[in-house]
Amino acid sequence: MGILLNKIRHYSITLELTKGFFIALLSAGFIYLNHWGFGAPLLYTILGIWTLYLLLGAEKLVWFIAGAFIGLFWFWWITLSLNHYGMAWAVPLVALVIAFIYGALFWLFAWMSEKLSSKSTFPSVFFKAFFLFIFSYIHPLGFDWFKPELMFVESYLGIQKWQFALVLLGCSLSIWKKQWGYLLLIILAYQPPLSENTLVAEMKQTQDIALITTHTSVEDKWNEILHPAQFQNIFNHIDQAIEAKKTLVILPESVFPLFLNRSQTLINRLQEKAKHISIVTGALYWDGKTPRNSTYIFTGNTITVANKVVLVPFGESNPLPDFLSHWVNSIFYDGAVDYKASSQVIDYVIDGVTYRNAICFEATSEKLYEGNPKNMIVLSNNGWFTPSTEPTLQKLLLQYYSKKYSTTIYHAVNSSASYVIQNGRYLDIKF
């Protein structure tokens, strides 16, 4: 009898492990298919609904396993940055930490759902649906890239909260009543696609802008010996944009990896070019006390500096308490000082058009979309995480915010393709 019970227990655990793994695999399908170039709205719709249906009907252990693998499938690329600090040994450890954090969160939500259900007349599936609904507002260590509704960003369903609520309600009722018909509620979350005329008009609006893509590795970027050649390449891009009669050229994050406000030679050279074209470029800024990750805007005789508002957890600012933060910085980052964030979002005007400033990570933060900005310029350096699915997930998040807030996003990137997103739609434009 004992052997039989052990076999049954082993089978049960294996089944739950397999189910959790499968749910996580389904949840990440839209990322990897998009990364490999498959545009399949119907498939993305099915994958998203299937993920939620299976997860809502699962028990605590499955939620833990699914959460752990979701953390890995969605965010494994975070560990790649450690290679640039000579800490390859820490890659598996950090991967396990990521898996545990998301696994623990999912398990906690499932456990709370069952506890709340036992003390009320509502079945646990509705509490689970509620926790999935609010998950996009929960940011472990300041990292806010997990949004369950993101699975539908390129599907036939909308990503607004009320639309996601309908999807969750349809799945929950179907599980509770054991009737598939309730899934028809999901049809109400349908999002009509943009017309071709609208897309053509949108693409025409970008013709006067040059978005520059660079391909500089992290190691080369900070090698001062290579800076003269790198900087000359940047000015060559600016000259090409001028020759193409563009009115604005946008360069990636920190293409000038130095305190640009302390380099008068480069400032003078950029100002000279700005007589012919407006320039938006990434560089560092030193205020005499702490470094800042900044955008420099050259328009005519004017120079505007817009500092970053939302810093990357651990990458630019340590989210831990001060006593731990100093220890982590001294052990892992050679005692480097954290960057300093600006206190408020910055808008600037070029040729009569207002743009919201955003630098890499912060463009995927809700804070940057306060006031529903019509246009946003984003500068990124994806060299820390390429080759990986990070640029794809970043693009999908920008599509999500563009669709949610009707913001046109101009994204200049190092180490992956630059692009424009309008109304949540990625525009394949040659610059």
Catalytic hit among 19, 221, 308, 340? 308
Q: Would you state the pLDDT for residue 333?
A: 47
Assign 431 a pLDDT band (cuts: 50, 70, 90).
low
What is the per-residue pLDDT across 140-184, written as a single tens digit (0 to 9) for each? 988 999 999 999 999 999 999 999 999 999 999 999 999 999 999
What is the per-residue pLDDT across 255-267, written as a single tens digit (0 to 9) for each? 999 999 999 999 9
Indicate if 308 belongs to the active site.
yes
Q: What DSSP state is assigned to residue 163?
A: H
CB of 198 closer than 8 Å to CB of 233 = no
Neighbour-count burial of 372, counting CB atoms closer than 10 A to its CB (0-12 exposed, 13-18 middle, 19+ buried): exposed
Q: Would you state the pLDDT for residue 24?
A: 98
Of 148, 166, 193, nearest to 41 by C-alpha is 193
What is the per-residue pLDDT across 123-136, written as a single tens digit (0 to 9) for each? 999 999 999 999 99
Say what the alpha-carbon torsion angle 420, 423, 424, 429 is, to the nearest 10 degrees: -30
CA pseudo-torsion sign 269, 430, 44, 28: negative
CB of 278 closer than 8 Å to CB of 247 = yes
Name the percent of the chain lying above pLDDT 90.
Answer: 80
Catalytic hit among 16, 360, 395, 404? 360
Query: Read out DSSP for 360-413?
Result: GGGGGSGGGGTT--SEEEEEEE-TTT-SSSHHHHHHHHHHHHHHHHT-EEEEEE
Q: Look up residue 30 and give its two tokens.
A: 């839209």
Q: Would you state the pLDDT for residue 181?
A: 95
CA atoms within 13 A on the CB side of 195: 3
Q: Would you state the pLDDT for residue 404?
A: 97
Q: Are strands 278-286 and 256-259 parallel, antiparallel or unpaired?
A: parallel
Of 159, 182, 77, 171, nearest to 130 by C-alpha is 171
Q: Would you state the pLDDT for residue 348?
A: 97
What is the per-residue pLDDT across 333-344, written as a single tens digit (0 to 9) for each? 444 556 677 779
Indicate if 253 belongs to the active site.
yes
CB of 189 closer than 8 Å to CB of 171 = no
3-state SS assignment for residue 168: helix
Catalytic hit among 253, 316, 362, 390? 253
Find the mean pLDDT for residues 184-188: 97
What is the per-residue pLDDT across 359-382, written as a single tens digit (0 to 9) for each? 999 999 999 999 999 999 999 999
More confident residue, 246 or 320: 246
Q: Would you state the pLDDT for residue 335?
A: 45
pLDDT greater than 70 at residue 413: yes
